[in-house]
Amino acid sequence: MSDAGYPDDLLYHPEHDWARIEAGESQEATLGITWYAQDALGEVVFFEAPAVGTRLVQGSPYAEVESVKAVSDVVAPLSGEIVAVNDALEDSPQLINEDPYGEGWMVRIAPSDPGEREQLMDAEAYSATLGG
């Protein structure tokens, strides 16, 4: 398991999902779930990524992540079309626990509405929603 933390370079959705706007002209965004979400879920044993080309809608579920005990929706922090999925999670879903902001990323999308970013929180604001 990883240590608790919320990197400053990410944007956060209140349903415990993060987005990283990648450098470069394409402005692609990488998505995953936060440390808090993976900790609440426990050891992840199954993640099935949607297909490349799937369209995501901000605030709507696009995948499911399962621990031994529970299944949880993964909510899209931004709208857009999937351009890549993390195939490594099929055989090694525990990467979501071990490295939720790195090797545990879930999908990369081409965002369809850059303005949606304004609705996401920075690390400080997101951390504050988790309480003490």
Partner 1 sequence: MCPPEDKPHAACLETAHVRSLRWRMRQRNSESPARTASLRAVPTTLRRTPLYDRHVAAGAKLVEFAGWEMPVQYEGVRHEHTAVRTDVGVFDVSHMGEIETSGPQALELLQRLISNDLAKVPIGGAQYGLLCREDGGVLDDLFTYRLDADRWLTVTNAANHERDLAWWLAHAGELDVQVEDRVEDYAMLAVQGPRARELVQAISDAPLPPRMSAATRRLAGAQMLVCGTGYTGEDGVELLLAPADAPALWDELLRRGARPAGLAARDTLRLEACYHLYGNDLSVERGPIEAGLGWCCVEETDFVGSEAVRAVRAAGPRERLVAFAIDGPGIARQGNPIAGGGIVTSGTFSPTLGIGVGLAYLPAERAAVGTRLEIDVRGKMRPAVVREKPLYRKGS
Sites of contact with partner 1 (CB under 8 A): 1, 15-16, 36, 40-43, 45-46, 48, 61, 64, 66-73, 90, 129-132
Residue with tokens 């949606």: 116
Do residues 17 and 37 make contact, with C-beta atoms less than 8 angstroms apart? yes
- For the bound state, the minimum distance from the C-beta of residue 11 to partner 1, rounded and expressed in Å, comes to 18
> Which residue number, 100 or 111, has a Cβ lying nearer to partner 1?
100
Smallest gap, in angstroms, from Cβ of residue 109 to partner 1? Answer: 20
Specify the residue, 9 or 68, whose C-beta has the smaller distance to partner 1: 68
Q: Which is nearer to partner 1, 17 or 116 (CB)?
A: 17
Question: Nearest approach, Cβ of 16 to partner 1 (angstroms)?
Answer: 7
| Separation of alpha carbons 61 and 128, rounded Å | 23
Q: What is the DSSP string of 50-116?
A: PPTTPEE-TTSEEEEEEESS-EEEEE-SS-EEEEEE-THHHH-TTHHHH-TTTTT--EEEEES-GGG
Minimal distance in Å, beta carbon 42 to partner 1? 6
Closer to partner 1 by Cβ: residue 4 or 27 = 4
